[in-house]
Amino acid sequence: MLVRLQAVVALAACIAAGSASAQPTAGSELLGRGRYLGEVVAACGACHNTFGPGMQPVPGMALAGGRVFAERGFRAVAPNITQDRETGIGGWTDAQIAAAVRDGHRPDGAPIGPPMPVESYRGIADRDLGALVAWLRTVPPVRHAVAERSRYPFMPALAGPPVASVPEPPDEDPVARGRYIAVNLAHCMDCHSAQLAEGRADPQRRGAPGLVLEGPWGAVQARNISSHPENGIGRWTDEQILGAITRGVSADGRRLAPPMAGRAPVWARMTPEDQRALVAYLRSLPPQE
């Protein structure tokens, strides 16, 4: 009874201070942002969902892991990132989850390797990182053991010092916002940039023909999406560019291969502002051969 009374008194104090209504709103806004980033813009599920035959996500197993990547001469398996305490990340602290997503290391200090977009995620803004953690906390636990860790030969080159702080791109600068989406959140440029020898995207040659992705669809190269008029998308309309991103269809009507088309239904849910920012950024890329 005493405990209950104390709670009522504490609540009354909150209301008096005006924070009782402000707090839940701020929390749900952050969660909404995190869900939008995780489910739509960053599409964590494109890698972390459990997939059945024909690359169809298994119902009820969102983010439960198990997708095998056997590309570029290395093998990795996407871990279970649901809130299950034993087979997922339910036992990790918020800080440990944040360190995995942005700093690229696990609670035991082991580095996280590709294809987790470790380098790109180092640029996730502080508030968005908090939002992603808030969202991950709400992912229903699914028991599904995925034990294997990536054996990526260049791992040490990617593991940098912890990221101190990253500001958000200014609202009034669509190119900067589009760059943040394309480079950091949606990691478009990991695939769509010339590749350096150690298996990293070359930040000097963004938009150039990029990664070759192998799978049941064969081998397909991420195409030139710089502003080059012939080789790139310089002559495409905004509508055609968005057609590739949100419908998985090229300017000539050709259906794009799964690494691109598979994410299109998800990216179709991006806000119109974010879609416009993405186009503005792509148009700003200098022509690449």
Q: Which of 187, 206 has the CB closer to ligand HEC? A: 187
Element of type H or E holding 206 = strand 201-206
Binding span for ligand HEC by CB under 6 A among 10-18, 26-34, 95-103, 156-164: 95-103
Length of the chain in terms of residues written:
289
Of 66, 113, 199, 207, the one binding ligand HEC by CB under 6 A: 113
Site map 56..85 versus ligand HEC, x via CB under 6 A = -------------x------x-xx-x----
Q: Which is nearer to ligand HEC, 20 or 231 (CB)?
A: 231
Residue from 245, 264, 277, 285 touching ligand HEC (CB under 6 A): that is 245
* Angle at CA of residue 269, ends 254 and 246, nearest 5°: 10
Which of the 8 DSSP states describes residue 53? G
**Are 282 and 207 in contact, with CB atoms under 8 Å apart?**
yes
Residues 118-157 that bind ligand HEC (CB under 6 A): 132, 136, 149-150
Q: Is 284 in the site for ligand HEC (CB under 6 A)?
A: no
Radius of gyration of the chain (CA): 21
Query: 194 vs 225, which CB is nearer to ligand HEC?
Result: 225
Contact 146, 78 (CB under 8 A): yes
Question: Cβ neighbours of residue 65 under 8 Å, at least 6 residues apart?
Answer: 48, 50, 77, 78, 79, 80, 81, 88, 144, 146
- Quick one: how many helices (H) and strands (E) in the chain? 13, 6
Q: x/- binding map, residues 171-190, to ligand HEC, per CB under 6 A?
A: -----------x---xxx--
Beta strands 74-77 and 68-71 are antiparallel
Of the candidate spans 12-20, 54-62, 195-203, 252-260, the one that interacts with ligand HEC by CB under 6 A turns out to be 252-260
CA-to-CA distance for 170 and 24, rounded, in angstroms?
A: 26
Q: Which residues of the chain form contacts with ligand HEC (CB under 6 A)?
A: 38, 42, 44, 46-48, 69, 76, 78-79, 81, 89, 97, 100-101, 106, 112-113, 115-117, 132, 136, 149-150, 182, 186-188, 191-192, 213, 220, 222-223, 225, 233, 241, 244-245, 250, 256-257, 259-260, 267, 278
